[in-house]
Structure 1
Amino acid sequence: MTFASSESFHAPGPATFELPPVFEIGSVGVTKPMLQLFLAAALVFAFFYAASAKRAMVPGKLQYAGEAAYGFVRNGLARDLIGSRDFMRFVPYLFALFFFILLNNFFGSIPMINFPTFSRAGMVYGLAALSWIIYNAVGIRKHGFVGYLKHQSVPHGVSPVLYPLLIPLEFLSNIIVRPVTLALRLFANLFAGHILLVLFSTGGLYLLQNEGVIGAVAGPVAWVLAILVSFLELLVQFLQAYVFVLLNAMYISGALADEH
C-alpha cells in the first residue's frame, strides 16, 4: 500500500476559474466564459425564433415548448409579481434574462463545456448592474428622482422618531446593497458547485492512482458523490436563474408601487 503526501494533491480553488484566453483580438484575450455568453445568446435566440417562425392554431412540439417557456416567465414571474397593469412591458427583458442565465448555468453540466459562465464574478456583476439600472430608472420615471429616493428610503407607517435610524438602512438596502447581493447569490452558488465537482472528480482520480487499497475504495465513492452533486447542480442551476429573475421582478414591482 502506498501513501502519497497530502501536498501531492492540489485542491481546486479560485485559480481553477482562471482560464487562459482561447484567442486574442489585439491585446484583448477572449476567454471561454466570454465565448459562452455569445453562444448562450445565439442559442436562446435561435431556439425561440425557430419555435415562433411557423405559428399555428394547433402547435407542434417546438412551438408548444416555446409557448410553455414563454408562459412560465410571463405568467409565473412577470404577471404574478409586477401586476396585470404594468407587467407586459417587462416580459421581454425578464424572459430573455431567465433563459440567458439558465443556459449559461447549464453550461456547467454540459459535457465538453463543463464550466458555468456565472461562476466568474465579473460576468454576474454586469447582469446585476443592468438590473439595477432598469428598476431604478422605472422608479424614477414614475415617482421622480426625489420622490423615488423617498419611496425607497422612507418606510411607510413608521414613527418619524425612527427615521434617523431607518432611512440610512433602507437607502443602503434598497439602493446600494441590492445589486451586490443579487450578483453574489448567483455567483457564489455556481462557484461552490463547480468547486465541489472538480474536487470529487480530481480527488477520486488521485485516490485511485496514489492511495492503493484505500484509494481503490475511496476513489469510486468520490466519483459517485461527483455524480450525485452533478444532479444536484442541475437543480441549483435552474433555481438560481429563477431566483435572479424573481428578484428582478420584485424589485421592479417595488419601484412601481405607490407605497413602500
Structure 2
Amino acid sequence: MALFANAMQLVAPVFTAQESGGGFKPPTMAEFFPEIVLFEGTPFAMNRIMLIRILMTALLLLLFWLGTRRMRVIPTRGQSLTEMALDFVRVNIAEDLLGKVDGRRFLPILTAIFFSVLAFNVTGVVPALNIAATSVIGFPLVLAVVSYVTFIYAGIKKSPGNFFKNSLFPSGVPKPIYIIVTPIEFISTFVIRPVTLTLRLLMNMMVGHLLLVLLFAATQFFLFSGEGFFKLFGVGTLAFGFAFTLFEILVSVLQAYVFTLLTAVYIQLALAEEH
C-alpha cells in the first residue's frame, strides 16, 4: 500500500495536467527546483527539498537519542537495533579499513556520513516526500567537501611536513618524469576525488527519481488516457515502477555505503606510511 500511495503521489501533477487537456507530461529538471514555501525573499528561503532535509535530520537525531538515552548491559530492543546499525559502520568500514585505533578516531564522521546519506536517499521512495534530498547538488557537495577536508586533515596530522610532497612527488619516480606525474597526481588526488564523490551520489539519485516519475506517469497515462490495447502498456509500466522502487531502495543503501567507504579509503591512503 505504501508503494501504491507513493506512485499516486508521483503522478498527481501529471494527472492534473492531463485533466486540463495537457496530454502526457514527462518529468523535467524543474522537479528538482520546487517553489519556495517558507521565508521567500530572505537568505533562509526554503523549498520542499530543504524541508525534507530538516525533517530527516530531526528524525535521525530523535532515533539515535531514543536508542542511546538509557544504555543497559542487557540491551532493550531499541538499543540493540541502534548498536547493530552503529556496529555496521564501525566493523565493516571504519575498523576494517583503518584499524581499531584510527577506525575509532574517525568513526564519528564516517557514521554521520553514512546515516545522513542513507536517510536523505530513501526519501525518494517515501510517500508524500517522493524526492531524494541528495538529488540536488548542495548536500552531496557539502559531504564531498567534508570528506575532502577530513582526508587532508588526516594526512597533515600523520605527516605534517611530507603529506603534500609525497602526494605530488611519489618516491621512486625519476625527477624529469615529475613534469608529467605531478600534474596527474594533483588532479587525481585533489580535484577528481571530491568531484566524483559529488557526482556519483547526485546523478544516481537524480536518475532514480526521473525514472520512477516517468514509469508511474506513463502508467497513469496508459490506464486512464489510452484506448484499447494501449491500456496493457500501463500494466507493464506499473510493474516496472514497483520493481524500480525496490531497486531504488537498494541503490539508496549502496550509495550511502559507497560514499562512506570511499571516504574511509581516502583517509587510509592519507595515513599510509609513505606519507
- TM-score in terms of structure 2 length: 0.87
What residue is the counterpart of 2:94 in the other structure?
A: 78
Q: Give deviations 1:215-245, integer Å, cap 9, x for gaps.
A: 3100121111100000000100000000000
Q: Percent identity?
A: 35
Deviation, 1:85, is: 2.9
What residue is the counterpart of 1:16 in the other structure?
A: 31
Which of 40, 47, 72 is matched with 2:56 structurally? Answer: 40
Q: Does 1:256 align with 2:271?
A: yes
In structure 1, distance between residues paired with 2:147 and 2:235: 43
Q: Give deviations 1:37-86, integer Å, cap 9, x for gaps.
A: 22222111111111111211211110100111111111111111112232
In structure 1, distance between residues paired with 2:273 and 2:52: 40
SS at match of 1:22: strand
Which of 115, 119, 122 is matched with 1:99 structurally? Answer: 115
In structure 1, distance between residues paired with 2:250 and 2:138: 23
What residue is the counterpart of 2:150 in the other structure?
A: 134
State whether residues 209 and 215 of structure 1, in contact with CA within 8 Å, keep that contact through their aligned partners in structure 2. no
State whether residues 124 and 187 of structure 1, in contact with CA within 8 Å, keep that contact through their aligned partners in structure 2. yes
What residue is the counterpart of 2:196 in the other structure?
A: 181
Deviation, 1:211, is: 2.3
Which of 160, 164, 167 is matched with 2:179 structurally? Answer: 164
SS at match of 1:50: helix
In structure 1, distance between residues paired with 2:224 and 2:66: 48
Which of 253, 257, 260 is matched with 1:242 structurally? Answer: 257
SS at match of 2:254: helix
Matching residue's letter, 1:34: M
SS at match of 1:66: helix
What residue is the counterpart of 1:51 in the other structure?
A: 67
Q: Does 1:68 align with 2:52?
A: no
In structure 1, distance between residues paired with 2:229 and 2:256: 40
Structure 1, unpaired ranges of 5+: none
Which of 204, 220, 224 is matched with 2:219 structurally? Answer: 204
Structure 2, unpaired ranges of 5+: 1-17
What residue is the counterpart of 1:121 in the other structure?
A: 137
Deviation, 1:34, is: 1.2
- TM-score in terms of structure 1 length: 0.92
Deviation, 1:26, is: 4.9
SS at match of 1:163: helix
Matching residue's letter, 1:46: L
In structure 1, distance between residues paired with 2:234 and 2:33: 26
How many residue pairs get aligned? The number is 254
Deviation, 1:92, is: 0.8
Deviation, 1:25, is: 5.4
Deviation, 1:8, is: 3.6
Matching residue's letter, 1:213: G
Matching residue's letter, 2:35: P
